[in-house]
Amino acid sequence: MNGYLLLGYAVSLALLWGYALLLFRKSRVTRSRRQQTQ
């Protein structure tokens, strides 16, 4: 496969799914904060 193609997909998928994982982690932290508040 072409190197540019691999670079394009690697960067795009890392950005998109990296943000999804960041949101997932933040939601877990928020959930534990909510439980502490309750």
The residue written with tokens 């994982």 in the block is 21
Q: Is 32 in the site for another protein (CB under 8 A)?
A: no
- Considering only residues 12 to 31 of the shown chain, the ones binding another protein according to CB under 8 A are 12-13, 15-17, 19-20, 23-24, 26-27, 30
First-to-last C-alpha distance (Å) of the chain: 53
Least distance to another protein from the beta carbon of 17, Å?
A: 8
Q: Is 1 in the site for another protein (CB under 8 A)?
A: yes
Q: What is the 3-state secondary structure (H, E, C) of 22-37?
A: HHHHHHHHHHHHHHHH
Residues that contact another protein, how many (by CB under 8 A): 23
